[in-house]
Amino acid sequence: MTYSFLDPEVLGRLGAIPLESRQPMLGNVAGRHRSPNRGSSVEFAEYRKYVQGDDTRRLDWKAYARSDRYYIKEFEADTNLLAHILLDTSGSMAFADKGISKIEFARKIAASLSYLAVDQGDAAGLSCISTKLQLEIPPRRRASHLQTIFKTLAETEPKGETGLVEGLHSIAEKVPRRGLIVILSDLFCDPDAFSDALQHLKYRKHDVVVFHLMDPQEIDFEFERPHRFVDLEDNSTIVAEPVLIADEYREIVQEFLTDIRRRCHDANVDYRLVRTTENYESVLSTFLLDRLPKKGSR
């Protein structure tokens, strides 16, 4: 079955760039990602002083010859990554003006990241959040599992008011093992409550990424004649003359974006503002490249 949000050529190009976590992961199988657990592995991590009870086979005799002291070699165990894709499916995600709809852009990112994770031997799962956390597909490593994710993405339609904050808190409580949490949303929610949800996820030691999806019209507000504006979440309407409110609207939106960016930065969350007119392949390649370990950092 083919899906409009999947492009094999794009996936082939993106597949040359590994999906990396910015922090150590925990897993049950060997993988490419650092683990917080120490042990005997391929990659050297650091020395520490020998203490009684340590395995003497890990003593570094060269270090002893130089310093006349006993040191143990520690290594970083590699492990697998669990990618949890959290998709906002509230009504506002249906908006489209200058670009494709926010939900369609989100489908492209969600499907691509799921494919890339599974293709490199990691696990991917999907959760859809509208008024509440409505659907959960647990992360799996099997290639056949991708069809479940893709089918769900194709069938999911945005509706209702946002329950993003409550959904994020639910995920933080339900996901027992640290993983990569990818949030795809327009973030039309209370900034204070959203900030608390991010802190909850970070407290659980997750690596959190926010793709803040916005149609350019929602930022630039370039309407030229009176419009009836409809709230896509509660269907309320208001008639306004754009020329009279445009400057104030843009100022408020910029304050909102600046506030969200600051809150993500303060929580050590990877924040990415994305306009739906952007090329999604460029958005993802930049994201993947930015997360590659810098030389000497691993």
Is the distance from CB of 10 to CB of 281 less than 8 angstroms? yes
User: Does 162 share its domain with 99?
Assistant: yes
Q: Looking at residues 246-250, what average pLDDT do you find?
A: 94
User: Does 117 share its domain with 237?
Assistant: yes
Residue 52 lies in a domain: yes
What's at 41, amino acid-wise? S
User: Does 105 share its domain with 219?
Assistant: yes
User: Does 281 share its domain with 137?
Assistant: yes
pLDDT category, 135, cuts 50, 70, 90? confident
Residue 2 lies in a domain: no
Residue 200 lies in a domain: yes
Which element (helix H / strand E) includes 212? Answer: strand 207-214
**pLDDT tens digit sequence for 161-194:** 999 999 999 999 998 888 999 999 999 999 999 9
Q: How far apart are CA 200 and CA 212, in angstroms?
A: 19
User: Does 69 share its domain with 126?
Assistant: no
pLDDT category, 37, cuts 50, 70, 90? very low
Residue 43 lies in a domain: yes
User: Does 241 share its domain with 115?
Assistant: yes
Residue 295 lies in a domain: no
Distance of CA 37 to the CA centre of its chain: 23
Residue 18's nearest CA partner among 108, 84, 116, 85 is 116
**pLDDT tens digit sequence for 54-106:** 667 777 788 778 888 777 765 544 448 899 999 999 999 999 998 799 999 99
User: Does 38 share its domain with 56?
Assistant: yes
Residue 297 lies in a domain: no
User: Which pLDDT belongs to residue 26?
Assistant: 53
Residue 3 lies in a domain: no
pLDDT category, 51, cuts 50, 70, 90? low
Number of independent structural domains in the chain: 2
Which sign does the torsion angle of CA 249, 250, 256, 260 carry? positive
Q: To which residue do tokens 């309320």 refer? A: 236
Length of the chain: 298
User: Does 145 share its domain with 246?
Assistant: yes
User: Does 64 share its domain with 152?
Assistant: no
Residue 256 lies in a domain: yes
User: Does 147 share its domain with 225?
Assistant: yes
- Give the CA diameter of the chain: 83
Domain of 202 in residue numbering reads as 8-24+80-290
User: Does 66 share its domain with 191?
Assistant: no
Residue 35 clears pLDDT 60, i.e. is over it? no
Encoded tokens for 158: 């945005």
Q: What is the CATH number of the domain that holds 126?
A: 3.40.50.410
User: Does 16 share its domain with 43?
Assistant: no
Query: What strand order describes the sheet that includes 123-129?
Result: 133-140, 123-129, 82-88, 180-185, 207-214, 270-275
